[in-house]
Chains A and B, each alone.
Chain A
Amino acid sequence: MSGTGIGARVLRKEDFRFITGKGQFTDDVNRYGQAHAVFLRSPHAHAEILGIKLDAARAMPGVIDIFTGDDLAADKIGGLICGWMIHSKDGTPMKAGAHPALAQGKVRYVGDHVAVIIAETQAQARDAMERIVVDYKVLKPGVSMADAVKSGAPVLHEVAPDNTVYNWALGDEAATQAAFAKAAHVTKLDLVNNRLVPNPMEPRAAVGDWDSGQDAFTLYTTSQNPHVARLVLSAFIGIAPEHKLRVIAPDVGGGFGSKIFIYAEETVCVWAAKKIGRPVKWVADRTEAFLSDAHGRDHVTHAEMALDASGKILGLRVKTQANLGAYLSTFSSSVPTYLYAPLLSGQYDIPAIYVEVDGLYTNTAPVDAYRGAGRPEATFVIERMVEVAAREVKQDPAEFRRRNFVRQFPHQTPVIMCYDAGDYDAALTKALEMSDYKNIGARKAESAKKGLLRGIGFSAYIEACGIAPSAAVGSLGAGVGLWESAEVRVNPVGTVEILTGSHSHGQGHETTFAQLVSERLGISIDNVSIVHGDTDKVQMGMGTYGSRSGAVGMSAISKALDKIEAKAKKVAGFVLEASPDDIEFKDGKFSVRGTDKEIDFASVALQAYIAHKFNGQELEPGLKESAFWDPTNFTFPAGVHICELEIDPATGVTRIDRWTAVDDFGNVINPMIVEGQVHGGIAQGVGQALLEGAVYDSSGQLVTASYMDYSMPRAGDLPSYDVGMTQTACPSNPLGIKGCGEAGAIAAPPAVMNAITDAIGHEGIAMPATPLALWRAIQKTAPRAAAE
């Protein structure tokens, strides 16, 4: 096909509207007669609400109505849910405290929702908000995990008197114990995975609308998965049955996980639209985003690795505390458990692994999936452990990894996952070459002459993407299946509309999905449009996260295209007066094998609709097919990232000098888009390692509640990236795709921290390695690198 099929660097179809300012984001949606909502948020981390006085606020100009948790309860609107049941190792179910959309009796973090004020303008709603008087009885907060598990700690939810959601475990404890018993060397490390605020540039927003004639709701919202939002709002929260609730996620300005979840604000906006009989719009400002978007990561881990005398890994033991915040967000329970522990084997053949995870409540914002979700946490543990182990047994970190790589596929790890395909050697070899590893010694000496510390760090990451086989996740506690749907509508003129349950918020589906269609049907991508993000158009879907849109979403499209092709062959058979078995389809043309009789795709489409050549009993008119794709396995993208950096010991400032990434994403639909995903992921990973960290003070105030205090990576903080690829096709889906959306964010943090610890000569530094932290760390020890 003419350069727009699979594998081509096709420029993005969606770009025109964004570069000309014509994108339609939720804040760009305005409904006739809309009112504006503002949320009164808790100023306290932990408090009882003794009373709320609304009279003065109600009397303010422009105020339409004010609602509190009591109003939601009176309407039997249910609380927000967590959709993944985790069982503790003793078999008891996780302890999920109630999560009302507007607080009932108690607030549990700064930013928790107390009331909604709806007025003619946003400014008027704010003016009125300042007149609400809430009588709080301030309680002692448990802000850090250490605080939350202390005896006598303040209890957040009565169902969890020890603030523990679950004590979960995975792996064979006895086998791991035995592995450690015969170890020649044990490496031990304490690791902190810092708390992050996702910060898509578009803040969350919602517009709720209610049609009084139909008694039907429409919600425009910044969602990565509008169908899941509808399902939850309908089946669990009880806004309206699904056929009376339409959820539209128009252009969405980045998500990174934070727009998967079903939050209080959209719930309230859509419900309130009926209460006041007018559309209700809410747009978060950045401070609200910091306070109330679900945060990411926040693990404290102790890990131990057993090695034999030759440096072969025998076993891994990990104990993690995971901060889940004040309430369980939509998928939060799964992130530090099933999305984390099964990846702890990394790219390595480790015979025995045992992991324990305690999920804890604290008086902080809920913590949920953030780009990578669990897998960056796992990769950080295993890749820091491997690097340190190599240092301790005085082996080259690259060779140490190579010695322990998995080489036979399929490979069953001791922690659920069965790796289907990969070639870890190939990626490492290529990355070493691209990064000019052999001359690192000379470059270190060069830096030392300038008084700078140079370090190099590796990260040989693996992730499980394309989530996920429904039955498998169901057996692990997921409340939903993780298949994807697709519908292919061929119009009579031969243009094609693809309806997908995936959602694009930067990933470029309008282009890559069209490339698949172009490849398969031999038509121009200009004749393909991708329809997504509207529950009235697309019947059902699971949305975009976990690098699943290619592997799962496109596989569904591929399956539907198979059906289209089969049906079209039948139509062509009638037109060309041949048996469908004799019809060949190639380069957009149907032909009768062994003859010169042929007809192009558009003509077949027309024939399918005019239906003159066949009778309706033999063949249904029309050309429209749908499919659901349920994967049979996860996919396993993997690769090697190498970070090389220089530290100025006088100031603690780090400058990344080179970044090498070699990734195996299986087959690639559009390398330009894939590289862009890698770049963006690395930037977020570098941000985590060097700059970003959400900080609460001991009273539970978020110190980093704006860009004045939370360090967002800017262009000047980052290098250019040298990106290469290796390829082993994924055997578990028809396109051989593995997924690329999270790789960079997963790979980068350990690469940076391995490079930093290489440069400073010890392991005593945590993320984010800010200039202050590095300067302190450098004070602690005479740097190894400088001494060499």
Chain B
Amino acid sequence: MYPFNYHRPGSLADAVKLAGADEAKIMAGGMTLLPTMKQRLAAPSDIVDLNGLGLSGITVAAGKVTIGAMTRHADVAGSAELKKAIPALAELAGMIGDPMVRHRGTIGGSVANDDPAADYPSACLALGATIVTNMREIAADDFFVGLFETALQPGEIITKIIFPVPEKANYQKFRNPASRYAIVGVFVAKFAAGVRVAVTGAGSGGVFRQTDFEVALGKDFSAKAIEGIAQSADCLNSDIHADAAYRAHLIGVMARRAVDAAK
């Protein structure tokens, strides 16, 4: 690691001020940021640790689940209330990394980081979540812009994420055998108004919605309904663990399994 100044502000206002510095970096759980810094791939001048802000907690009310940005994966996975409201989201959190990573990594950090192989972005997109920052509210559809790229402006801090409660949902993850991130992750959510399907791990531009599946499932919410729909391999990633054709195939398999398992 390169040297840096460490700050642990006590208020959001202070955090925003510190995070505004040129080469400053916000740190939540550090589960992504610190490995990057250890490999000297990032050299922030200042680290602004959000752990003193109390931005954590889960509330369920009026058809909405609100999760504080600093809520750790383990707490999302373990929340009894969430398991009742959106069990798929709790299950997803329980599939991230390993128990030690889940004790430290946060939902806000994961969403802000927008790793193309991360799990949460698929839930945000499929559930039509709203990402709330110190400045504004951003719809998930507008939030995830590209690889590691979001609508956040420099220094903007996510404070919470609001998820509408669906009728049914499920997340199916096909793990990379080495990193255990998603090679393909498909989140399917059924609302009264329609079905949303989001795919992570596969797209060369990051998480995306599979609208062909959405239309078919909107008419008939069954695995059969999407059996014949081909997912194109264009714009999907290829690497040593999975080429685009395989990813395209897995998107279909995982989507069908998610539909079958949705509750």
Contact = CB atoms under 8 A, between A and B. Distances in A.
Chains A, B in direct contact (C-beta < 8 Å)? yes
B40 A691 contact: no
A144 interface: no
B1 A123 contact: yes
Give the secondary structure class of A's interface: loop
A770 B241 contact: yes
Interface residues of B, number: 16
Given A695-B240, A770-B241, A707 B246 contact: no
B243 A126 contact: no
Contacts of A704: 178, 240
Contacts of B147: none
Interface string A709-723: 111100001000000
Interface in A715-742: 717
A707 B178 contact: yes
A282 B253 CA distance: 48
Contact of B179 (A652, A709, A772): A709
A159 interface: no
B63 interface: no
A708 B178 contact: yes
Interface string A13-24: 000000000000
B224 interface: no
B177 A691 contact: yes
Contacts, number: 41
A698 to B, nearest CB: 13
Contacts of B174: 651, 771
Given A650-B253, A651-B250, A651-B253, A772 B178 contact: no
A658 interface: no
Contacts of B250: 651
B225 interface: no
Nearest to B245: A776
A29 interface: no
A67 interface: no
Interface string A631-658: 0000000000000000000111000000
A440 interface: no
B240 A703 contact: yes
Contacts of B241: 709, 770, 772
Contacts of A287: 39
B177 A126 contact: no
Contacts of B1: 123
A708 B40 CA distance: 17
B246 A776 contact: yes
Nearest to B247: A772
Contact of A772 (B39, B40, B243, B253): B243
Nearest to B241: A772
Interface in A104-152: 123, 126-127, 130
Contact of B177 (A123, A695, A770, A776): A770
B249 interface: yes
A711 B240 CA distance: 11
B186 to A, nearest CB: 13
Interface string B1-32: 11000000000000000000000000000000
A36 to B, nearest CB: 15
A775 B249 contact: yes
Contacts of B179: 707-709
Nearest to B250: A651
A192 B177 CA distance: 21
B178 A712 contact: yes
Contact of B246 (A709, A711, A775): A775
Contacts of B178: 704, 707-712
B240 A709 contact: yes
Contacts of B249: 775
Nearest to A652: B246
A273 B253 CA distance: 59
Contacts of B242: 771-772
Q: Which of A123, A651, A691, A704 has the most CB of B within 10 A?
A: A651
Contacts of A708: 178-179
A154 B144 CA distance: 46
A126 B39 CA distance: 11
A105 B177 CA distance: 40
B33 to A, nearest CB: 16
Interface residues on A, range: 20 to 34
A426 to B, nearest CB: 37
A157 B88 CA distance: 58
Interface string A681-717: 0000000000100010000000110011111100001
A707 B179 CA distance: 7
B11 to A, nearest CB: 32
Contacts of A717: 177
Contacts of A776: 246
B143 to A, nearest CB: 26
Nearest to B253: A650
A652 B179 CA distance: 18
Nearest to A693: B240
B68 to A, nearest CB: 29
Nearest to A713: B177
B42 to A, nearest CB: 14
A772 B174 CA distance: 12
Interface string B28-53: 00000000000110000000000000
A297 B242 CA distance: 24
Contacts of A707: 178-179
B43 to A, nearest CB: 11
A711 B40 contact: no
Contacts of A651: 174, 250, 253
A709 B241 CA distance: 8
Contacts of B246: 652, 771-772, 775-776
B177 to A, nearest CB: 4
Nearest to B40: A126
A704 B179 CA distance: 11
Given A123-B1, A695-B240, A771 B253 contact: no
B113 to A, nearest CB: 15
A110 B1 CA distance: 22
Nearest to B177: A711
Contacts of A771: 174, 177, 242, 246
B200 to A, nearest CB: 17
Contacts of A126: 40
Contacts of A712: 178
A708 B177 CA distance: 9
Q: Which of A126, A130, A775 has the most CB of B within 10 A?
A: A775
B100 to A, nearest CB: 14
Nearest to B257: A650
Contacts of B2: 127
B218 to A, nearest CB: 24
Interface string B163-198: 000000000001001110000000000000000000
Contacts of A770: 177, 241
A712 B178 CA distance: 7
A694 to B, nearest CB: 11
Interface string A759-788: 000000000001110011000000000000
Interface in B201-252: 240-243, 246, 249-250
The 9 nearest A-B residue pairs measured at CB: A711-B177, A711-B178, A708-B179, A650-B253, A709-B178, A772-B246, A772-B242, A695-B240, A775-B246
11 contacts: A287-B39, A650-B253, A651-B174, A652-B246, A707-B179, A708-B178, A709-B179, A709-B241, A710-B178, A712-B178, A775-B246
Given A123-B1, A703-B240, A770-B177, 7 more contacts: A704-B240, A707-B179, A709-B179, A711-B178, A772-B241, A772-B243, A775-B249
Interface of B: 1-2, 39-40, 174, 177-179, 240-243, 246, 249-250, 253
